[in-house]
Amino acid sequence: MKCPYCINDDTKVVDSRQVEAQIRRRRECEKCGKRFTTFERVELAEIYILKKNGSRQPFNSEKLRTSIRKACEKRPISLTQIEEMVDQIEAKLRNEDSIEIKSSKVGNLVMQKLRKLDPVAYIRFASVYKDFGDLGCFEETIDKLKRSGPNGRKQHISD
């Protein structure tokens, strides 16, 4: 790795840590002695999201994270759990055959995850994602949650 201060080619690693999905290395130039930080990151073909209105935009995990975070505000869900969801969802998308994915697929994956984790967050997300028009939609969803399988039964609907 080239030293950015003197363009010398030989630098050695002084420290190396895994930080989230990256490896941060602290390097030292063998020639000028200066130190600097590098990051190793995955570089994959971009995934594209196909929106309902026909538009196509590059998938951005940050947007996904933000929308999940919003749904989970004040709920007993840690940032770590949100990270896990984001990672798992992105991994699912990566395993698709096509690099073009319908936004509804992403939405459904989020719902799937939230449903198992927290009913309130689930309803919040659904209300935005499914574009609830009236209170009836909430009631319907709550009913479904109550009647639903193992995951649903374990939960309490309250706030």
Contact residues for its own copies, defined by CB under 8 A: 1-2, 4-7, 9, 18, 21-23, 25, 36-44, 87-88, 90-91, 94-95
Residue 25: its H or E element: strand 22-29
Q: Which of 35, 94, 105, 124 binds DNA (CB under 7 A)?
A: 35
Q: Which does 33 bind (CB under 5 to 8 A by kind): DNA, its own copies, none?
A: none
- Provide the CA 9 distance to its chain's centre, in angstroms: 37
Dihedral sign computed on CA atoms, order 105, 108, 112, 113: positive
Residue 2 or 144 with smaller CB distance to its own copies: 2
Which of helix, strand or coil describes residue 147?
A: helix
Q: How far is the CB of 71 from DNA (least distance, A)?
A: 21
Q: Which of 2, 4, 7, 26 binds DNA (CB under 7 A)?
A: 26
Angle at 118 between CA 63 and CA 50, to 5 degrees: 30
Q: Which of 37, 55, 80, 158 binds DNA (CB under 7 A)?
A: 37
Q: Does 75 bind DNA (CB under 7 A)?
A: no
Which of helix, strand or coil describes residue 13?
A: strand
d(CA 53, CA 108): 17
Residue 1 or 50 with smaller CB distance to DNA: 1
Residue 89 or 145 with smaller CB distance to its own copies: 89
Q: Which does 118 bind (CB under 5 to 8 A by kind): its own copies, DNA, none?
A: none
* Burial label, 31 (beta-carbon count in 10 A; 0-12, 13-18, 19+): middle
Q: Which does 94 bind (CB under 5 to 8 A by kind): DNA, its own copies, none?
A: its own copies
How many CB atoms neighbour CB 43 within 10 A?
6
Total residues at interface with DNA (CB under 7 A): 15
